[in-house]
Amino acid sequence: MIADEVRARVEKAIVPSEVTVRGDASRMDIVVVSSAFEGVTRVHKQQMVYAAIAELIRDGALHAVTIRAHTPTEHTGAP
């Protein structure tokens, strides 16, 4: 399943990470929570995730994605 492949690629590329993937190849929502995003701009966070799945997009296995990338603090809203 494409969602499992996306999750595996992102988890391998961004360590440590908690990855949630919903949807199918035509429309996929990806949420990534990682301390690797500390001090990184929102654009760079998305670029990191896109880099992990670029081959799937390029090959046409994955068409449209929405990426939400957060640090653990951003995700939980903790101060």
Cβ(57)–Cβ(64) below 8 Å: no
Q: pTM value?
A: 0.93
Using pLDDT thresholds of 50, 70 and 90, give the confidence band for residue 79.
Answer: low
Q: What residues does 67 pair with on adjacent strands?
A: 30
| CATH number of this structure's domain 2-76, picked from the four choices 2.40.50.140, 3.30.565.10, 3.30.300.90, 3.40.50.300 | 3.30.300.90
Q: Where are the domains of the chain?
A: 2-76
Select from 74, 79, 28, 77 the least CA-distant residue to 52. 28
Using pLDDT thresholds of 50, 70 and 90, give the confidence band for residue 77.
Answer: confident
- Give the pairing of strands 65-70 and 18-24: unpaired
Select from 4, 5, 1 the least CA-distant residue to 55. 5
